Every structure is written in structure tokens, then in C-alpha cells.
Amino acid sequence: MTTTIRQRVTNVNGATLHLTEAGEPGAPLILLSHGFPECAYSWRHQMEPLAAAGYHVIAPDQRGYGHSSAPHDVSFYGINNLAGDLCALIDEQGHDQAIFVGHDWGAIIVWETARLFPERVKAVVGVSVGFTQWPMRPTELFKAAFGDRFFYMSYFQNIGPPEKELDANPRDSMSKVLWVASKDGFPGVPDELPPMEGTGFLSLTNTPPPLPWRWLTAADLDYYTAQYTQSGFFGPVSYYRNLDANYEITKDLSPDRISMPSFFISGADDVVNLMNPTAIDSMAATLPDFRGGVLIPDAGHWTQQEQPEVFNATLLNFLQTI
């Protein structure tokens, strides 16, 4: 069975969003929320299998990405707007609820949407990034943990240098980032991070091998390059500039609000998992209806792209339980 994948543009919640969708309108709705630095294209291997399983699937290029709205206003990329976009897509489809699946930054968005608006979320799946209850303002935590050593989320707080670095050559930037966080390209956690002063986001990457890789083709990289040539990196990086503001919005909201079925999927060789190996145990102790986590072998950070067949089977198995 071949399912038609469609592209369209919609205006919701004060933003213009470019959407990729598949499946029959009116069917149970799944919203796929992508991470950084990606776009809806990162879900290309999931659209048809989910539609074939009976779902209406929508993956937006979230605000700041590709051909979606991308103003130079940091507050435009705060969690109320990001969660509001997804809830507005539910309204657009005439539903009360949707199933939310998010990868990387998209995982942060869906976890917080489930906490802010639990009545809109039938089930939630975080990919790569588990639910996090920040103990203090994130930038203060980063400073305490890393001091004057380089940490990319701290580097992204300053407007100007990150965009200049990444926008200089979008193809080179995307190639290096996609390679270094993949299972095959990840060099391992360094014994000591370089100083913040004089270090850039791409400083910790190495030269990728020629394409194709086992999970990415030259055409895939062409697509990503075109997306970032269009949008630039200000919007995507500005998600990180809202971490403290988001914390102030959500700090007093109990994780108990995430009472719907929840699930976690990660690559066994994902740098996020390697740096936070207790994420699954933490969610099991925190979330009321956490139904487990799966670490997919031979997958790095780009979980659903590196091992799409295993990822799809894992996700569908969870969906059958709700």
C-alpha cells in the first residue's frame, strides 16, 4: 500500500507553518515534532508507515525552520508559542486531542505541551530527550556544571556568533552536525571540554566521509541545506535562548500533569543517552503512566533516521497499547 505524502501551508497561532502530512483526515491524529537542526523531513521514514497503520500524520516545519515563519524575535520561539502551534493544529483538524511524538528539541516541546495542556495530549513519546524537571534556571545549571568550559547550549545564548558560524556554509554545517551526532560519527565524550572563549559549535566536529552514509544520501543533505539556506539559523538557535523563560513558565507545574500514556525511544549510542543514562529510570519514577523506554542498537542521536524500521516497529508497538 502506497500512501500519498502531501505538503501544504497553514496559518495557526500567529505563525505560518509548512506541513508534511499523510493519512486520512479524520483518522486519529499524530503530530510529529522535529529537533535541532532538522525539519519535518527528519520524519520522512515514518509518514507512510503511520498512515498505513490508520493514523493521520502531520509533521510541521516548526517556526523558524524552512519556509515557516522565522522572524528575528527571540520571544517568538518560547514554549507557549511552540506548544500553542501544535495545539492549534489539533484545532485545525477538528480534534480534541492528538498523539505527540517529538525528537530532540521536539521532545522537549511535546513533554512540555503534555504538562501545559494535558487535556490535548492523548499520549506522548519522547525520542532521544527524556522528560526533564529542571532543578534551577538551565543557564545557571550549565554554568555550575561546565564553568568556563565550552557547552553548546551556553554558546547559543549569545545572539550573533552562533548564527554567523552556522549560516556561513549551511551545507558544511549540516553535514558536520549530522555526522558527529550519528552512531558512526560520534567520537565519544571528551575527557575535557575546550574553553568557552574562542570555541564554536563546529569546533568539536570532524570532517565527515563522502556521502552516501548508511542512513543519509546526498539528496537528503541537499534538502536540509536548502531548508537552512532559506531560514538561516537564528530561529532554530533561539529555541535555546528561551530555556530560562520556559523554566519560569513550567517550574511550578508538577510532572503528575503528564498523566497520559508516555513512552521513550533513544539510540543506544545517542550522545544524550550516554550523558544521561538514568533518563528511563527517572521517568519511570516521575511520570504516572510511563510505559517504558527502548534503546535501539546501532543508532546514534538521529534515531528515527538511522534505524527507521526498528524505530517504526517500536513506536507502533507502543501505539497499540493506548
Instruction: Give the three-class secondary structure for 245.
Output: helix
Residues with a known catalytic role: 104, 301
Judged against a pLDDT cut of 80, whether residue 285 lies above it is answered with yes
Query: What is the grid cell recorded at 39?
Result: 525539519
Beta bridge partners of 11: 16
How many residues belong to the chain? 322
Query: What is the grid cell recorded at 189?
Result: 565524550
Judged against a pLDDT cut of 50, whether residue 115 lies above it is answered with yes
DSSP 187: -
Q: Average pLDDT in the 87-109 region?
A: 98
Query: What is the grid cell recorded at 302?
Result: 538521529
The percentage of residues in the chain with a pLDDT greater than 70, rounded to a whole number, is 99
- Show the CA angle centred on residue 36, arms to residues 154 and 125, nearest 5°: 110
pLDDT score, position 2? 56
Judged against a pLDDT cut of 70, whether residue 70 lies above it is answered with yes
Task: Quote the CA–CA distance of 60 and 241 in Å, as a whole number.
Answer: 21
The percentage of residues in the chain with a pLDDT greater than 90, rounded to a whole number, is 95
Domain-wise residue ranges, the chain:
6-319
Instruction: Give the three-class secondary structure for 102.
Output: strand
Rounded to two decimals, the pTM is 0.97
Judged against a pLDDT cut of 90, whether residue 275 lies above it is answered with no
Amino acid letter, 317? N
Q: End-to-end CA distance of the chain, in Å? A: 24
Taking all residues of the chain, what is their mean pLDDT, rounded to a whole number? 97
Query: Which pLDDT band, with edges at 50, 70 and 90, does 1 fall under?
Result: very low
pLDDT score, position 215? 98
Query: Which pLDDT band, with edges at 50, 70 and 90, does 320 fall under?
Result: very high
Q: Which of 127, 6, 109, 12 is nearest to 68 (CA)?
A: 12
Q: Quick: pLDDT tens for 213-232.
A: 999 999 999 999 999 999 99
Kindly give, in sequence order, each residue whose CB lies less than 8 Å from that of residue 198, ignoring residues fewer than 6 positions away.
none
Query: Which pLDDT band, with edges at 50, 70 and 90, does 204 fall under?
Result: confident
pLDDT score, position 188? 82
Query: Which pLDDT band, with edges at 50, 70 and 90, does 189 fall under?
Result: confident
What's the CATH class of domain 6-319? Answer: alpha beta
Q: Which of 126, 130, 129 is nearest to 100 (CA)?
A: 126
Q: Quick: pLDDT tens for 238-250.
A: 999 999 999 999 9
CB-based contact 176:247 (threshold 8 Å): no
Please report the beta strands in the chain, taking only residues with DSSP state E, as ranges in sequence order: 6-12, 15-22, 29-33, 56-61, 98-103, 121-127, 262-267, 290-296
